[in-house]
Structure 1
Amino acid sequence: MPEPATPRGEVAALVAIQAALTDRPGVLSTARGLSHFGEHSVGWLLVELLGALLKERRRREWLVAVAGTFAAHAAAVLLKRVVRRKRPHDPAVAVNVGTPSALSFPSAHATSTTAAAILMGRATGLPLPVVLVPPMALSRLVLGVHYPSDVVFGVALGAAVARLALWLDRASR
């Protein structure tokens, strides 16, 4: 039986990331927790709705965050259906969590997390993109459910949707 081919390109990057991080204490459970929290952007939307309820003086910013996060997720899902790239399936890549679809590009988790972080950062005045985006982006690779380009494009798409949400908010005042 021939030996499997050595992983190359993005698959090699996934294998390297998984080899370096997956066995470290708490990494896999944290990555899975982030995955569940970010599924369909529900965790971010709940936080934003709570912010809108509790922070009356900042309600508009929180509601813009809700709309922008929802739009980012929708854009990612729509793009997935157009591109139809399959998730990593190389035997060298361990898939460490279930997914709602077999489609990979772009990462909806990276997209909605980036939009949420930018927009919630505006509502709170905190540097949330620096704190929230890298762990979510890395978690998608550790879990073996996205190629690095899926995640990078998702971050860029989330940032673009957040900028559009902010522009629309300013234009409507």
Structure 2
Amino acid sequence: MDFEDTALYRDITDFAGDSPMWIQHGAGLWTEAGLLVFALLFAAAWWRARRDTPHAFAIAALAPLATAVAYVCSEVLKSAVTQERPCRAVAGAAASLAECPPHGDWSFPSNHATIAGAAAVALALVRRTLLWLTAPLALLMAFSRVFVGVHYPHDVVAGLGLGTLVALVAVRLGTGPMTRLAGAMRGSPAPAARWVTGPGPEPVPSYGTHARP
């Protein structure tokens, strides 16, 4: 393990241990509650896209799917690297604020950071201005995983990068097929399919021109 990364982990966890109790509790809560916040943002983006074009709906529908793909990629990489958690491997470090995961629940990369990075980017592809909200949320979630002592800094940096890359690729590759599927579902005779995709944008009223007599 890189000495500087281990030293940075020690510095952050020492600071966490000396921080006020409300900060410790807040970090512990956010490290899990942040996932719920992103889930709610996905739901809001989907609901809004039901009255948008099939292309816009496709990106909104792909956002949580791309995040799920990023999570699977993170799990596969974890199984290949098998890096022990710092709360178990770094001798003499401050006690972790969160329960240290058991041996076999590997550290690299951070699943939470991967999900946060993928969700932040995917939601920004739905609506660009959302990046001002999702990017800070993702960075805060990633940092919280080091703060509570269950990840090295490089774990969360790698997770953010992996999530970003997978989300960009997944949305780019899936937008075309998903757009066609959304169009087909909106024209489907099945009420459930039409409800999921929504009615689409309201038609623009056309005003006919009247010929002069």
TM-score by length of 2: 0.67
Deviation at 1:65, TM superposition (A): 0.7
Which of 1 and 2 has greater Rg?
A: 2
Deviation at 1:100, TM superposition (A): 5.4
Structure 1 Cα separation of the partners of residues 173 and 8 of structure 2: 38
Q: Does 1:49 pair with 2:49?
A: no
What code does the residue aligned with 1:13 have? L
Tell me what 1:13 maps to: 8
- 8 Å Cα contact 1:110/1:155 also seen in 2: yes
Tell me what 1:121 maps to: 124
Which piece of structure 1 moves more, 134-143 or 121-130? 121-130
Tell me what 1:98 maps to: 99
- The 5-angstrom pairing of residues 50-89 of structure 1 reads 50-56=44-50, 57=52, 58-88=56-86, 89=88
Structure 2 Cα separation of the partners of residues 100 and 124 of structure 1: 36
What code does the residue aligned with 1:164 have? V
What code does the residue aligned with 1:94 have? A
Unaligned stretches of 5+ residues in structure 1: 1-7
Structure 1 Cα separation of the partners of residues 57 and 17 of structure 2: 39
Q: 1:32 aligned to 28, 31, 37, which one?
A: 28
What code does the residue aligned with 1:97 have? A
Q: Does 1:133 pair with 2:138?
A: yes
Q: Which runs of 4+ in 1 moved over 6 A?
A: none
| Deviations, residues 2-53 of structure 1 (Å, cap 9, x unaligned) | xxxxxx4322111111233443343322221222235xx5653454134313
Unaligned stretches of 5+ residues in structure 2: 180-213
Which piece of structure 1 moves more, 153-162 or 96-105? 96-105
Structure 2 Cα separation of the partners of residues 46 and 70 of structure 1: 15
- 8 Å Cα contact 1:18/1:141 also seen in 2: yes
Q: CA RMSD in A?
A: 2.3
The alignment-based identity, stated in percent, is 30
What code does the residue aligned with 2:110 have? S
Tell me what 1:159 maps to: 164
Structure 1 Cα separation of the partners of residues 65 and 173 of structure 2: 11
Structure 1 Cα separation of the partners of residues 59 and 172 of structure 2: 12
Aligned pair in 2 of structure 1 residues 150, 43: CA closer, same or farther (>3 Å)?
Answer: same
- 8 Å Cα contact 2:113/2:156 also seen in 1: yes
TM-score by length of 1: 0.81
